[in-house]
């Protein structure tokens, strides 16, 4: 994953999800399988270090966390912001526009 890629969450068992644009290359945290990812999206709430005003919805840029499988490098969980609980309720897809 790198800047410009599209990151999609599809909530398991539902027909909805969330689409984001990766703004910067992901940064590995102190844990080798957790990455900080700066994304642009439109959402009811912001991420960590978000450009939206606190308690505001709409389009903004912020940082979420992804846990990746150490063998495949594919995401399997996310945290909406640094202090949020981990969510395991989504399938992930990534694409790189041509």
Is the CB of residue 67 less than 8 Å from the CB of residue 75? yes
Tell me the mean pLDDT in the region 57-68.
95
Question: What does the pLDDT look like over 49-62, one tens digit per residue?
Answer: 999 988 888 899 99
Is the CB of residue 55 less than 8 Å from the CB of residue 80? no
Is the CB of residue 92 less than 8 Å from the CB of residue 82? no
pLDDT of residue 72: 92
pLDDT of residue 45: 87
3-state helix, strand, coil in the chain (%, to 5): 0, 50, 50
Average pLDDT, the chain: 93
Which residues, in sequence order, are CB contacts of 5 under 8 Å at separation 6+?
A: 21, 22, 94, 95, 96, 97
- Given a cut of 90, whether residue 85 has pLDDT beyond it is yes
Which residues, in sequence order, are CB contacts of 14 under 8 Å at separation 6+?
A: none
Question: What does the pLDDT look like over 12-39, one tens digit per residue?
Answer: 988 889 999 999 999 999 888 999 999 9
């Amino acid at each position: 994953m790198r800047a410009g890629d599209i990151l999609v969450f599809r909530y398991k068992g539902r027909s909805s999800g969330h689409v984001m644009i990766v703004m910067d290359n992901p940064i590995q945290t102190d844990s080798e399988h957790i990455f900080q990812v700066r994304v642009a999206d439109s959402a009811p709430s912001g991420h960590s270090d978000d450009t939206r005003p606190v308690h505001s919805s709409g389009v903004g840029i912020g940082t979420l966390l992804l846990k990746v499988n150490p063998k495949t490098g594919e995401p399997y969980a996310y945290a909406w912001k640094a202090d949020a609980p981990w969510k395991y309720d989504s399938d992930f897809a990534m694409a790189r526009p041509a």
